[in-house]
Structure 1
Amino acid sequence: MTPNVWMGVSVENQDYTFRIDHLRRTRAFVKFLSLEPLLGPLPNLDLHDIDWVIVGGESGPGARPIAEEWAIDIRDQCLASRVPFFFKQWGGVRKKRSGRLLQGRTWDEVPIPEPTYQPVIYQAVVV
C-alpha cells in the first residue's frame, strides 16, 4: 500500500469497537481511530496495528459532555502502546472557549510513516 493511504474509523463508545477490527483488516498504510465524539469510556482498547488515535468531544447545540477521565485513560493507553495521541477538543457549544488542553498541555502527536519500517515512528507537532 502506498504511504498516501490513511484510513480511520469513528468509535464513539464501546458499542462501536468492532469497527477497529474491520480497520485492522485493511491494507491502509496508516490506520487511525477517531474517537469523537467520545460518548463513553473505552477501557482496554486493543491498539495493535493502530498508528494514531484522535480524541475529541462533541460540539454544537445539544452536545453531550466528554468526561476528562475517559480522555486521560485513552491517552495513557496510547502512551503505553507507543501510539501517537491527538486531543482535538473538549467540545460543547463554544468549543473554542472549552479549549483543547488535557491535564495542562496540548497533545498534538501525529504519525510519521516510514515506508520501509513499521511500527510508525512519531513526534509531537508544535502548533
Structure 2
Amino acid sequence: MARETAIEWTDATWNPVTGCTKISPGCENCYAERFSERFRGVAGHPFETGFDLQLRPNRLRQPLEWRRAKMVFVNSMSDLFHKEVPLEFIDRVFDTMEAASWHSFQVLTKRSSRMRDYVNNRYQTQSAPSHIWLGASVEDAAKKSRIRHVQGMNASTRFLSLEPLIGPMGHLDLTSLNWIIVGGESGPRARPIQIEWAREIRDQCITAGVAFFFKQWGGVRPKAGGRILDGLEWNEMPSITPARGTLPVAAE
C-alpha cells in the first residue's frame, strides 16, 4: 500500500531512500530527522538507525503495485539527490517513475545542481515525462540559485517548495515554473513566517500566471496556525497535470 499522508498537496509518499544530512538553514529543524531519531536503537523498527542515510531497494517497485492513480511525493524522509545516493540507484527510481505513468511523482531536492545534471544527462534529447514533477526546496532569498538550477533542467513540470519559508524571497524569476508551494515551519523550535513574505510570493505568482499553493502558517504543530491567507485557502495546482488513468488491466 502507499503510505498515506497529511501533506495537503499530495496523496501518498514513497521513500526508496531514507535519512539525510543538513545542507542549509532550512534543514535546521528538519521534521523527518526529528521523527526518525525517536526510534534510533529500537530493534526491528524501520528507523532503527535513526536518520542515517539508507537505500531501500525493497521499496523500489512499490508504485507499480498501486492500482489507483496517485499524486506521489518521492522521498519525504530523505533527498534523492544526496551525494551518497549512487547514480545507479537514482536510475532505478526514475525507471519506476517512468513505468508507473498513471501516477504523478513529485521529486523535491535541496541538491538542485545534482538534480539538474542528472536530469539533463538522462533526458538529453527530450524533456522528462510530464508526470514526473521536478522541483527544489528554497527557504529564503540566499538560496535562489536552486531556482536557476530547476529552470535549467530538461523538465516538463517544474516547481518550488518555499518551505519552511524563513525569510523574504524578494523578486522571483518565475519563468518556466509551473507551481509554487509556500509554508511556514512547524515543530517545537519553529521560526515564524511573516505574512508579507507570503503575500509577496502570491502576488508574483498571480502576475506570472503560476499556480500558488499555501500549505500552512506552521507553529508548534503543522496545522496550529491554519492555512488561510487573506481570507482564502490557496490550493492551486499546475494546469498541465497529465490525465491520470489506472493500472492497465493486463498488468494487474
Normalised by the size of structure 1, how large is the TM-score?
Answer: 0.86
Q: Which has the higher helix share?
A: 2
Which residues of 2 match residues 54-73 of structure 1 at below 5 A? 54-73=181-200
The residue identity in structure 2 corresponding to 1:27 is N
Report deviation, 1:97. 2.8
1:27 CA drift (Å): 1.4
One-letter amino acid of the structure 1 residue matched with residue 190 of structure 2: A
Q: What is residue 49 of structure 1 aligned with on the other side?
A: 176
* 2:203 match: 76
Q: Is the 2:216–2:222 Cα contact (8 Å) retained in structure 1?
A: yes
State the partner residue of 1:97. 224
**Residue pairs, 1:10-21, within 5 angstroms:** 10-21=137-148
| Higher alpha-carbon deviation: 76-85 or 19-28 | 19-28
Number of equivalences:
115
Runs of 4+ in 1 over 6 A off after TM superposition: none
Structure with greater proportional strand content: 1
Q: Percent identity?
A: 54
Q: CA deviation at 1:96?
A: 1.9
How far 1:5 sits from its partner (Å)? 1.3
SS in structure 2 of the partner of residue 19 of structure 1: helix
When residues 35 and 114 of structure 1 are mapped into structure 2, their CA distance, relative to the original with a 3 A threshold, is closer
- Superposed CA RMSD: 1.2
Secondary structure of the equivalent of 1:71?
helix
Query: Does the C-alpha gap of structure 1 residues 114 and 108 become closer, same or farther in structure 2, counting only changes over 3 Å?
Result: closer
Partner secondary structure for residue 224 of structure 2: helix
Runs of 5+ consecutive residues of structure 2 not aligned to the other structure: 1-127, 243-252
